[in-house]
Amino acid sequence: MQLKNGAEYMESLRRLHPRIYYKGEPVSDVTRHPATAPHVRAAAMTYALAAKPQYRDLATAVSHLTGRTISRFTHVHQSIEDLIKKIKLLRVLGRKTGTCFQRCVGFDGINAVYSVAYEVDQAHGTDYLERFKQWLIAIQDENKMVVGAMTDSKGDRAKGPAQQADPDQYVRVVQRRPDGVVIRGAKLHMTGAVNSHEVLVMPTTALDESAGDYAIVCAVPIDAPGITLIFGRQAGDDRRDQLERIDVGKPRFGAVGGEAVIAFEDVFVPNERIFLNGETAFTGSLVYRFAAHHRANYGACKTGLMDVLTGAVTYLAQIQGTAKGSHVRDKVTEMIHLSETLYSSSIACSAEGAPTPSGAYLVDTMLANVCKQNVTRFHFEVARLAVDIAGGFIATLPSEYDLESEAVGHIVEKYFSGVSGIPVRERIKIGRLIEAMTGGTAMVESMHGAGSPQAQRIMIFREGRLAEKVKLAKALAGIPQRRQGKQKSD
């Protein structure tokens, strides 16, 4: 792997020249700007872990394309063991960063595109998979970070892509040339976009024949001409701008994933970087497989975050003198129970995975949707319990400026103290960590990342095998099965 550690990753970003804006101003160096640097450090942890012997088995893999050792985040799953190792790695990273480390969307996009490109080639005699393999080998060998770009702006959501008053509300091909295509549109909420090397563009929904120009899958360098990124605001980002390190809560890492808008203004994509171009019949499978892989992740990375939050509130209870209360112990027990239940969903959908026709493995899609549905409930309940145990002081804490003020610092020191011998600064730090992990963007992402709750419920209903379950009930009740108007007993 060319990029072997976090420092090399950061240096590689400094060699890029993407067009990035934050609060209306250009960002020249994402590794140093206070709004983006914490997210860069979180992503850098994926590189750092691969360099540590105790994590190497989880954080690296052997490429089935080259036989070389690569980052797991660039790997195409070749077995159930690969699927499970991914889940274990994500929980470790969640524990290490307490936030999103941003490489999962590109990772899941790689796996979805690989399997679908194979099937398009089989049906139409195209060479998409060979093109994709050549691009992927370069990604693997250089250990580049890929942002998966799927969510379009969507405009009027009652209308499909081809029916929009503004056709650019979904990314589309606006010109086809002998050497490639030109694309236009935007992708929203793109996690880790400003600190990625490449963009993997994918459609956001299943498309019909009227939307052929929108059925485009391609890879584009993050600093390609015509790309503009607008870095999103997050709760408490002005605290980072002012370098109030205690008040940030997680001064080293970002709040969630550093989401951004990626605007494509007539961006040229050469043929060798195009992996689907108008084959609308395959867009549903692509979105479906990507979503399944991505929803499986949430029971791992969010469990890692929940581990940190459980530890934070346990320590706060200890230094506040409430840890021995039976109600506190019961609530902490429930936090642990919910975390492990959620993690078991990720392990289960991975353990029940199976190969696609391409040979790449896919998680059990029903269980992956159940996993993400649990995230939209369990993570919120763990956050609620943490805030319950912590008490109201985390909502009205004075700032670090007040703590260090000659005029009022002694008041903060006196009245925010807890158990004797524990520095007030520690209580404030752990309180701010709980605040950062239970409010604002963090919880919104848990609800809507990888698809809003209703998206999972739709898939759970579709895959519920209700007809099969009706047959089971009828058989036990002695009710004959009826087919085409005739009665038949099983």
288 a catalytic residue: no
**CA dist 122 to 90, 143, 188, Å?**
33, 29, 32
The C-alpha atoms of residue 425 and residue 420 are separated, in whole angstroms, by 13
Catalytic pick among 97, 280, 301, 435: 301
Q: Apex CA 187: angle with CA 183 and CA 188, to 5°?
A: 165
The C-alpha atoms of residue 211 and residue 224 are separated, in whole angstroms, by 25
445 a catalytic residue: yes
Report residue 218: phi and psi, to 5°.
-160, 165
- Residue 15 structure tokens: 């060699």
Residue 397: strand, helix, or coil: coil
Please choose, from the candidates 275, 284, 270, the residue with its C-alpha nearest in 3D space to the C-alpha of residue 121: 275
Catalytic pick among 119, 198, 259, 279: 259
214 a catalytic residue: no
Please choose, from the candidates 293, 329, 434, 442, the residue with its C-alpha nearest in 3D space to the C-alpha of residue 379: 442
118 a catalytic residue: no
104 a catalytic residue: yes
- Residue 433 structure tokens: 């960590």
Q: What is the DSSP letter of 484?
A: T
Catalytic pick among 114, 118, 298, 343: 298
The C-alpha atoms of residue 490 and residue 484 are separated, in whole angstroms, by 15
- Residue 299 structure tokens: 């029971």
9 a catalytic residue: no
Report residue 324: phi and psi, to 5°.
-85, -5
Catalytic pick among 100, 218, 349, 371: 100
Q: What is the DSSP letter of 152?
A: B
Query: What is the length of the chain?
Result: 490
361 a catalytic residue: no
365 a catalytic residue: no
Residue 191, marked binder? yes
Catalytic pick among 191, 204, 303, 376: 191
Catalytic pick among 33, 39, 104, 279: 104
Instruction: Work out the number of other CB atoms within 10 angstroms of the CB of residue 126.
Output: 17
**Pairing status of strand 146-149 against strand 180-190:** unpaired
Binding site for FAD, by residue number, is: 191
Which residues form the catalytic set? 100, 104, 191, 259, 294, 298, 301, 445
